[in-house]
Amino acid sequence: MLRSISMKNLAVVESAEVEFEAGLTVLSGETGVGKSILLDAVDLLLGGRSSSDVVRTGETTTVLEARFQADGHAVTLKREISSNGRSRAF
């Protein structure tokens, strides 16, 4: 289960952090509030293809981090994507 996600310099987002509680989580809201960006961040953290286009204009690096928890074990995933297109996953 996804417990939290943080994003820095992803697309138009300067910085955001979201925490999720146990149970059903539904993402809803007006057009343009960032639902797709949040889902794109999860995709990138899980190994989705990245490019320099995801780095916020004027910045050099996008940093994504998520914490997952299952069966009493916690796992943290981190990914850094640079404006030159290189990416590192931790």
**Per-residue pLDDT for the chain (90 aa), expressed as one digit of tens each?**
999 999 999 999 999 999 998 888 888 999 988 899 999 999 999 999 999 999 999 999 999 999 999 899 999 999 999 999 899 999
Strand 87-89 relative to strand 2-10: parallel, antiparallel, unpaired?
Answer: unpaired
pTM: 0.90
| Among 5, 80, 20, CA closest to 50 | 80
CA distances from 52 to 9, 56, 58, 60, 82 (A): 11, 9, 12, 9, 6
